[in-house]
Structure formats: structure tokens, C-alpha cells
């Protein structure tokens, strides 16, 4: 397999990666980096946890002219947390490599005035949510004519639904010769068709089937709906996760569950759309710092986040689609570590186990609690 430098990445960036023990490109990085470096429009797809962020960020940084104090790369993402995460990764890489490239997050729920002050520093890369970026372009606060690359991450969220019009508007505002890169964990006909409508000569870059990391063990435990919170509490005591994410559908229910677990002296934070930016940032900071061992999150809030050290994922509310199960369990077993996914299911929900096993080619074993210990039935 080729090294990062052999793929065309700057030696300074390769050295910066080495300080984090990243020495070999992943399959999706090996395929995507040369295509993006060449300036081609691309649709990059690979399952969760395979290194897609670096697959587009490394060649994007390599194409930035640090001497030019003008916007050159726009990264569009669906959530505040993902925008901050990508900015942090990019800043750290650029700093370690001595590139002098400036990053700026642009997200809703934060003072526009403060963000406009930051834009006066003339960042070469902005990372933000579509609504805020589109708003600032239309308000002529962002000058799109110098942009070389537009990267749309998590396209299965952004090229469907209400965000689509904003993404289209952002892309339409750019020069015609700009590069478009679309990134996703899954390949869906609807998003691929929309991407091809926006970029006529789109290069498809895919690595691996839509499958779950083989280092993750999968279990389910059956109980009544009313007993789920108590079962989760017992599971957290029995399994003693280093760090766990609990997935739920509704914001209100996440807050209720967090309150119940905190009552039992389990340090928990919750992350969902009903919280404002400052509250969500505090939750993420506490979870990453280890002050809270459990994060209760909605699918939308947790999409694309790369949190190191997540040993367990618990499905409290059960995903009906296998692709959503794939996204969720991909939060654990990052960077070659082992992971565990436990779904807390009612008798009616257990039927979904067969769907997961068939679609994702995994084995989901039956678990049970007895005497405060988690047992696995053979």
C-alpha cells in the first residue's frame, strides 16, 4: 500500500499525522486522496470509522495556498459538533505541519456578529452548517469567488430534506470551475442522483461494503418498554464501559433518562437538538474529558462524531433501518479497538434483529442480566 507522501500528501502533513501514530492510509484514503488532489469532482463513500474526514481534509489542505489570505475551502456539515470537530482536526494538522492555514467554524445558534469579526482574519477554510453559510453568502459576508473546493460531508443528511435547498444555493454561488466533493457512510440512489445533478463528471470513490466493523460484538436484551431505563442502569453497572453512547429518538426522553441515571450517581450528559450551542458544547467537553462516562444522544446530534475511547453503544430506542444501526454502532471500535453494541428491545422490536443480521452480515446474540452480571446465551 502506498504511503501518504506517495499519494501526493505534503511531507509536512505526513509528519504531522505521524505524531498521532497515523502512518498508513486506510483503503478509502488511498482511493480518494489522488482523485481529490487532481481536482476532480468526487462522491466518496465508506462505512463509519474508516477515515473519511482525513480522506478529504488532507488533499484539501494540500491544495490551499497559505500565502493567499482568501477563502479557498468550504466544508458543509449537518451539525454544530461535527463542524467543531473538523475544525479542531484541521487546525491541529495545519499547526503541526507549519502550514499557516486558518480555519473558522460557522454554525447557527452562535452570535453572527462574533463570527463576522472572525471572518475579518480571512480564514482559508470554513466549516459550517448549511443555513449559516448560505445566510452569510447571501448577505455578502463571505466572498465565494475565491473558493477552490466545496466539500459536503454526511450527504445522506444534507442532500435530502430541508438542507438540500441551502446546499444547492451554496454551490450555485461558487465559480463554475470549483471542485465538489460529496462524502457519505452509505451509498443511496437518491443522494447519488442529486450529487450527479450538481456535478456532471462525478468520480465515484468507494471502499468496502456497507458492513459493520468485525471488532464489534452485538447483543440484545429483551424487556418491557417501561423497564428499559432500569435495564440500562443495570447494564451500565454490569458492563462498566470506559465510555458509552446511548441512542434515543426524542430530545425530551433523553433529558428524562439522563435525570434518572444521574439520580443513581451515574455521570451522564445528553446531546440533542433541543439544547443550544453552549449546552451542547459543554456536554461534549464533559464527555471527551471523562467527567461523564455516558452520553445520551439522538442520531442527528451524534452523526459523524469521532470520539475516542467509546467502548459501548446502547440502543435504547431501536433503529428500524439497518443503515441507522450501522451509523450508531460505528461510534465504537474506532482505530482498531474492540467494541460492544447492546440493543434494549421489547418483544415486538426483537424481530428487527433478523433484519440487522441479514443486511449487515453480523451475529446478534441474546444477553440477559442475572445477579447483577451480564450473561450471553449460546
DSSP code string of 193-229: HHHHHH-TTPEEEEES-S---TTEEEEEEE--GGGHH
User: What are 125-162's pLDDT values in tens digits?
Assistant: 999 999 999 999 999 999 999 999 999 999 988 998 88
- Of 198, 125, 127, which is closest to residue 159 (Cα–Cα)? 198
For 216-376, the fitting CATH number among 3.40.190.10, 3.40.50.300, 3.30.1490.20, 3.90.950.20 is 3.40.50.300
- Cα separation, 195 vs 213, in Å, equals 27
The yes-or-no verdict on residue 71 having pLDDT over 60 is yes
Q: Mapping DSSP to helix (H, G, I), strand (E, B) and coil, where does residue 15 land? A: helix
Q: What letter does residue 127 receive in the DSSP assignment? A: E
Is the pTM for the entire model greater than 0.75?
no
- CA 212, distance to chain mean position in Å, is 15
pLDDT at 277: 72
pLDDT at 225: 95
In the chain, domain spans = 11-207, 216-376
Q: Mapping DSSP to helix (H, G, I), strand (E, B) and coil, where does residue 46 land? A: strand
pLDDT at 56: 96
pLDDT at 129: 94
pLDDT at 52: 92
- Cα separation, 300 vs 83, in Å, equals 13
Average pLDDT, the chain: 89
CB-based burial of residue 159 (10 Å sphere; 0-12 exposed, 13-18 middle, 19+ buried)?
A: buried
Which of 14-23, 34-43, 270-279, 342-351 is predicted least confidently? 270-279
pLDDT, mean of residues 71-92 = 93
| Architecture field, domain 11-207 | 3-Layer(aba) Sandwich (3.40)
Quick check: do 11-207 and 216-376 share a fold? yes
The sign of the dihedral angle between the CA atoms of 375, 238, 304, 48 is negative
Amino acid at each position: 500500500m502506498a504511503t501518504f507522501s506517495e499519494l501526493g500528501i505534503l511531507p509536512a502533513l505526513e509528519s504531522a499525522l505521524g505524531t498521532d501514530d497515523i502512518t498508513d492510509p486506510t483503503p478509502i484514503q488511498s482511493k480518494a486522496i489522488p482523485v481529490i488532489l487532481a481536482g476532480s469532482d468526487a462522491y466518496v463513500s465508506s462505512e463509519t470509522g474508516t477515515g473519511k474526514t482525513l480522506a478529504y481534509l488532507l488533499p484539501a489542505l494540500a491544495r490551499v495556498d497559505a500565502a493567499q489570505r482568501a477563502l479557498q475551502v468550504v466544508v458543509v456539515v449537518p451539525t454544530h459538533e461535527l463542524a467543531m470537530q473538523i475544525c479542531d482536526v484541521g487546525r491541529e494538522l495545519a499547526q503541526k505541519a507549519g502550514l499557516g492555514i486558518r480555519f473558522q467554524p460557522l454554525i447557527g445558534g452562535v452570535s453572527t456578529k462574533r463570527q463576522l469579526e472572525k471572518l475579518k482574519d480571512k480564514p482559508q477554510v470554513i466549516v459550517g452548517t448549511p443555513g449559516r453559510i448560505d445566510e452569510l453568502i447571501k448577505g455578502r459576508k463571505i466572498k465565494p469567488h475565491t473558493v477552490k473546493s466545496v466539500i459536503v460531508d454526511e450527504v445522506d443528511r444534507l442532500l435530502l430534506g430541508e438542507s438540500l435547498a441551502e446546499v444547492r444555493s451554496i454551490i450555485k454561488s461558487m465559480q463554475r470551475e470549483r471542485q465538489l466533493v460529496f462524502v457519505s457512510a452509505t451509498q443511496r440512489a437518491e443522494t447519488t442522483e442529486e450529487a450527479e445533478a450538481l456535478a456532471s463528471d462525478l468520480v465515484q470513490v468507494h471502499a468496502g461494503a456497507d458492513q459493520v466493523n468485525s471488532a464489534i460484538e452485538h447483543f440484545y436484551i429483551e424487556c418491557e418498554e417501561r423497564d428499559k431505563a432500569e435495564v440500562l442502569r443495570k447494564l451500565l453497572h454490569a458492563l462498566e464501559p470506559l465510555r458509552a453512547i446511548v441512542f434515543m429518538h426524542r430530545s425530551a426522553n433523553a433529558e428524562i433518562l439522563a435525570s434518572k441515571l444521574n439520580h443513581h450517581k451515574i455521570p451522564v450528559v445528553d446531546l440533542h437538538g433541543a439544547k443550544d450551542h453552549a449546552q451542547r458544547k459543554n456536554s461534549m467537553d464533559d464527555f471527551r474529558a471523562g467527567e461523564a462516562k455516558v452520553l445520551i444522544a439522538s442520531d442527528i446530534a451524534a452523526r459523524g462524531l469521532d470520539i475516542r475511547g467509546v467502548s459501548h453503544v446502547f440502543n435504547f430506542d431501536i433503529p428500524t433501518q439497518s443503515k441507522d444501526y450501522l451509523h450508531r454502532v460505528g461510534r465504537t471500535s474506532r482505530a482498531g479497538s474492540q467494541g460492544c453494541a447492546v440493543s434494549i428491545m421489547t418483544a415486538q422490536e426483537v424481530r428487527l434483529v433478523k433484519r440487522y443480521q441479514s443486511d449487515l452480515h453480523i451475529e446478534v446474540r441474546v444477553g440477559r442480566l442475572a445477579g447483577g452480571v451480564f450473561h450471553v446465551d449460546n
